[in-house]
Amino acid sequence: MPAIHRYSRRRFIATAAGGFAAAHLPALASGASRPKSLIHLFMSGGMSQLDTFDPLPGLPHAIPTSAPGISISGNLPLLARHMDKITLFRAMGHGMKGHPAACEAALRFPGSWSFDRPTCSDFHSAIGEAIPMLQGGRNLIRIELGGWDIHTENASRTAPLAATLDSGFSKLLETLSAIGLLDETLIVLNTEFGRNPVHNGFGGREHDPRAYSCLIAGGGMQGGRLVTAKTSPQEFHARILDRFSHTLA
C-alpha cells in the first residue's frame, strides 16, 4: 500500500550532507531557478528496468518517446509522451543484492523504516493527495509503489504495476505543469536495484544491482536527457542535493 512520508528541509540536508558523495556526472541544471520541493517516488521491491525504462532487444517491445533517441518499454505509453521532461539514468549500480542494504542506499533517510500511516489506499490517490500537500507548504514528500519483487510470472505481474506507474506518474507531471508547480518541484524516481535479463525457472527475474534505471524530472531541469555513465546511489543522491543546495537551508 502506498505511503506518504514527510521530512523537513533541515532533516533532508543534514542527512544528505552526511551520506552523499560528490558526483562526477554530466551537469543537470538548465539554468532555471532551483526547486523548492521534492517528490520522491520509490518503487519498492526492485523495479525491473527491462520492463520499464531500459528494454533490451526482445524484452518487451520498445516504443519511441518525445525525447529523440530514447525508447522505453511499451508498458509505459503515457510516460513515453513525457520523456522530454525527464532525465533518465540507465547505468545505476552497486553491489548489494539484498533488500535491506539496497533500500538503505536508495533511501538514505534516518528512520526511513518508520513509515507514516498511509493516508490513501492506492498510488493514484497518493499522487492526488501530494498536490494539495505541496500547495499547503509540504516540501518533501515520498510516495511508494510496492510489489516489484517479482520472482515468478514476470510478464503478467509486471504489466499491471507498470500501468499504475505509467498513469500515476503521468498524472503527476501533467497536474504540476497545469498549476505552475513543475519547475518548482523536483520529482525523483528510484528503486533499490533492478532485475536480471534472464528469467529464472519460474518465469520471474532475480535481483540484479549491477545496472538499473532511475530518473529525475521537473525542478527547472532540462529533460529529454540520457545518462549512461556508471552511477552509484550516492552519486545519484549527490546530484539531487546539489540541485537543492541553495534553497534548502
Q: Please count the other Cβ atoms lying within 10 Å of the Cβ belonging to residue 174.
A: 15
pLDDT digits (tens, 9 = 90+) for 56-88: 876 668 999 999 999 999 999 999 999 999 999
The per-residue pLDDT for range 84-126, each reduced to its tens digit, is 999 999 999 999 999 999 998 998 744 443 333 336 868 999 9
Domain of 46, CATH number, reads 3.40.720
Integer angstrom CA distances of residue 189 from 23, 55, 198, 214, 234: 18, 17, 24, 6, 15
Quick check: is 235 in a domain? no
Domain holding 200, by residue range, is: 4-230
pLDDT digits (tens, 9 = 90+) for 178-234: 999 999 999 999 999 999 999 999 999 999 999 999 999 999 888 999 999 999 998
Whether residue 161 lies inside any domain: the answer is: yes
Q: Is residue 239 part of a domain?
A: no
Residue 244 lies in a domain: no
Would residue 243 count as lying in a domain? no
In this structure, is residue 219 part of a structural domain? Answer: yes
Distance CA 221, CA 28 (A): 6
Q: All 3 cell numbers of residue 85?
A: 521532461
pTM, full prediction: 0.85
Q: Is 71 inside any structural domain?
A: yes
Split into its structural domains, the chain has a count of 1
- Indicate whether 191 belongs to any domain: yes
